[in-house]
Amino acid sequence: MIAEGRIALNGETIATPATLLTDVAGLTVDGRPVRPAKGTRLYRFHKPQRTLTAEFDPKGRPTIYEVLPKGLPRLMPVGRLDFMTEGLLLTNDGELKRQLELPKTGVVRSYRARAFGHVTQDQLEELAEGVTIDGIRYGSINANLERRTGRNCWIEMSLTEGKNREVRNVLAFLGLQVSRLIRTAYGPLDVYGMEPGDVDEVAQVELDAFRASLK
């Protein structure tokens, strides 16, 4: 593009790629100004049950984009939650989204699951060693029995991989039937104090601290 004379700075055609820029002010391509990259913004969104983490569903089911308030910048979900699962983080930055989703980044995802069936704390603690289900290896999971009422219980779980339907598959392996699943936190950010459908923007100081903590 430079060799073709398509790039200019303050009206003068750039002739060499060895041109150092501190910003894009005055830079044009084919006479059109280059817009600066939008700053990273991160949102907390409490995804309701019965919504898809998708732009469109051919079956006509509601998606998160139908629930999100109007006037927000274009948001991309960090990770996917299935139709019946609540809780979500969103960002407007594709690079940050990819970084947060990588298992090697080590971001802890926390969940609360309401399940029917019997399980002991000893069984849950064995998940810390990981488990293989139908040929799929799930890494270490920190799980605790929060409370039990009859055959129903609430279980808290923390993990860093986030494989597809990981929590549901692991609890089913233990003989439990999940009736409600909430992702309560992604790293230091959580959805406590938010109702399903609520959304707010993470303060810049919190976002900067979060990014600085990533591997």
Catalytic residue numbers read 82
Could you give the C-alpha distances from 165 to 36, 74, 150, in angstroms and in order? 38, 26, 26
Residue 90: count other Cβ atoms within 10 Å of its Cβ. Answer: 23
Q: What is the DSSP letter of 52?
A: B
Interatomic CA distance for residues 172 and 198, integer angstroms: 30
